[in-house]
Amino acid sequence: MSQVCRDGQRVAGEAPPSPGPDPLPTSGAAAATTKTRAPSRTATKADSATTTAAGSPQVTIYTDGGASPNPGKGGYGVVLLYGKHRKELSAGFQRTTNNRMEILAAIAGLEVLREPCQVTLYSDSQYLVNAMTKGWVERWRRKGWMRTKKDAAKNPDLWDRLYLLCQRHTVSFKWVRGHASNVENNHCDRLATQARKLPDLAPDTGFEEDS
């Protein structure tokens, strides 16, 4: 059976999935994939993926995103780890914001998974992590994407996509300090920076100047 990404994009030229769980597509499923060195021994040991008793694969995702200036050209970078499997994603956009790229990085990592997974997602964005762990997004969504009676929540197009993905997957959001000692977070930062410097960047169709 052909492999299909969460967003419906068909992955060409791949063999049928192996009998064992492997939720990461091996090629072509996202905007960009880059081969780099393997993660450090510490990171590999901490993030080795297994399968839960219930049968759901355990996947670790690192994300980062940003824009320079803000708003301005932006990009995101993602690293997905599952056992011995590793996949990197990145994409750049003409005009966007730091916050939109942080959210979109999480979306990109989750959308590429082929089946429901137990996910630990690391981000250096307190905005992203707090919104997902403190119930802000669920509350905004319940109130028609209003933060208060007068103020609309920003980036509802992305928050809704992320919320729905978290209904498919069991996601634990973890904050890490940016530009510090986390190898994979730093690598995501490099991927995001490289992506926003590429020519012919795509438009961020949901971007609004006050987002």
pLDDT digits (tens, 9 = 90+) for 155-181: 999 999 999 999 999 999 999 988 778
The residue with tokens 């609004």 is 208
Distance CA 121, CA 80 (A): 9
Buried b (16+ CB within 10 A) or exposed e, 130-160: ebbeeeebeebbeeebeeeeeeebbbbebbe
Active-site residue 65, yes or no? yes
Q: What is the pLDDT of residue 202?
A: 96
Q: Of the residues 47, 65, 74, 204, which is catalytic?
A: 65
Catalytic residue among 47, 102, 184, 204: 102
> What is the structure's pLDDT at 124?
95
Q: Is 102 one of the annotated active-site residues of the chain?
A: yes
7, 135, 179, 208: which one is catalytic?
Answer: 179
Does 1 score more than 70 pLDDT? no
DSSP notation for the chain: ---B-TTS-B-TT-PPPPSS---S-SSSSSS-----PPPPHHHHHHH---B-TTSPBEEEEEEEEEEETTTEEEEEEEEEEETTEEEEEEEEEEEE-HHHHHHHHHHHHHHT-SS--EEEEEES-HHHHHHHHSSHHHHHHHTTSBSSSS-BPS-HHHHHHHHHHHHHSEEEEEE--TTSS-HHHHHHHHHHHHHHTSSSPBP-TT--TT-
Residue 35 has pLDDT above 50, yes or no: no
Q: Looking at residue 36, what is its pLDDT?
A: 30
Residue 64 annotated as catalytic: yes
Model confidence over 117-160: pLDDT tens digits? 999 999 999 999 999 999 999 999 999 999 999 999 999 999 99
**Is a pLDDT exceeding 50 seen at residue 16?**
no
Q: Encode pLDDT of 197-210 as tens digits.
A: 999 999 999 998 76
Please state, rounded to an integer, the average pLDDT across all residues of the chain.
Answer: 81
Q: How far apart, in whole angstroms, are the C-alpha atoms of residue 75 and residue 186?
A: 14
Q: Between these two residues, 25 and 161, which has the higher pLDDT value?
A: 161
59 beta partners: 119
Contacts of 20 (CB under 8 A, 6+ apart): none
Q: Can you give the pLDDT at residue 26?
A: 56
The answer to whether the CB of 25 falls within 8 A of the CB of 112 is: yes
85 catalytic residue (yes or no): no
Q: What is the pLDDT at residue 38?
A: 32
Residues 79-107 pLDDT 10s: 999 999 999 999 999 999 999 999 999 99
State the catalytic residue, choosing from 47, 64, 88, 111.
64
Q: Which one of 47, 88, 111, 124 is the catalytic residue? A: 124
Q: Active site residue: 47, 88, 111, 189, which one? A: 189
Dihedral sign computed on CA atoms, order 12, 101, 47, 174? negative
